[in-house]
Amino acid sequence: MFDQHADAQEFVLDGTEVRQRTLKKSIECNGVGLHSGAKIKMLLKPAGANAGIRFIRTDVAAADAVIPARWDRVRDTRLCSLLANDAGVSVGTVEHLMAALAGCGIDNLDIELNGAEVPVMDGSSQPFVALIEQVGVVDQDAPRRVIKVLKRVEVGFGAGHVALSPADMQIFDFEIDFESDVVNRQKISLPVVNGAFCKELAKARTFGFLHEVEALWEAGLAKGGSLDNAIVVGHEGIMNEGGLRFDDEFVRHKVLDAFGDLYLAGAPVVGRFEGVCSGHAGNNKLLHALFADDTAWTWDVVRGDAVRYAVDGGIHADKSAEIRVAV
């Protein structure tokens, strides 16, 4: 049975390990919710070692405000990854921010929001990476724990599937296949180590087809969607001025989504992820399958030779000014 805080004291610092990290100081941003269209103010705040990542709604009663960023709190995956607590208070579209936190090696953070959705920004993780780079990060007095995959776990559905298998680092293999001359079939295999996330994935934007976007608008959904925060594929091609940021931006964004969804495990998942025609629902089902089998995974720390595979976004921590936060 999965327990995010089990054996938290089992791993001790010996000077060779990667340490947990948080932000040096708080930073705020404003934007709109992709699906709600609401104006959202978000504040990223440093959190103490072993605190994990939490969303905190400032527009509801304090007793009901905290929503842990965990796989077992996912309540809806139809349009995004939406989390909810026992009081029914929710926060949606968390995947792009979670991907940025994972890619920059942020282990502990409080995320305050005055609404029910993370602002979409430009539809990628890059604006969140920029916020992290702006304030910097700091090492904490605890080793970074990771979830090490011990054997292959697979979930199939229709024409697609997702799987995790053992590997020394985080590797993402993804394949998409759309009935579109613009998107068509795309494949990628990418080790997400060191600064690879920021270089190869962070700028990849969410995307949709014009007829799908119009249907969502008619249904009162995607109220905040526009060419400023999503790639839109129309009848004659890409509608966005400037076109694509990568030739294969579509499949790169699917990897970004999966990277963020998997970080809801509560720690980096070290292994090879394989996704074929998958999305948020498949990613969450995969975590459920992984944690349902105690022989498929174990807690570990990143130390020794494995340090070279650590994910840090290329952002170096300030080791001289550890932040201690009461939790």
Please tell me the distance from the alpha carbon of residue 74 to that of residue 284, in angstroms, as a whole number: 8
Query: What three-state secondary structure class fits 198?
Result: helix
Active site residue 280: yes
Can you tell me which residue has the tokens 């697979």?
A: 154
The active-site residue out of 35, 96, 253, 280 is 280
Task: Provide φ and ψ at 217, rounded to 5°.
Answer: -60, -45
Query: What three-state secondary structure class fits 30?
Result: strand
Please tell me the distance from the alpha carbon of residue 140 to that of residue 322, in angstroms, as a whole number: 6
Please tell me the distance from the alpha carbon of residue 283 to that of residue 304, in angstroms, as a whole number: 30
Please tell me the distance from the alpha carbon of residue 319 to that of residue 290, in angstroms, as a whole number: 34
CB atoms within 10 A of CB 18: 23
C-alpha pair distances (Å), 105 with each of 64, 87, 195: 28, 30, 10
Longest distance between any two alpha carbons in the chain, whole Å:
59
Q: Could you please report the per-residue DSSP string of 179-192?
A: S-TTT-EEEEEEE-
- List residues with catalytic annotation: 280
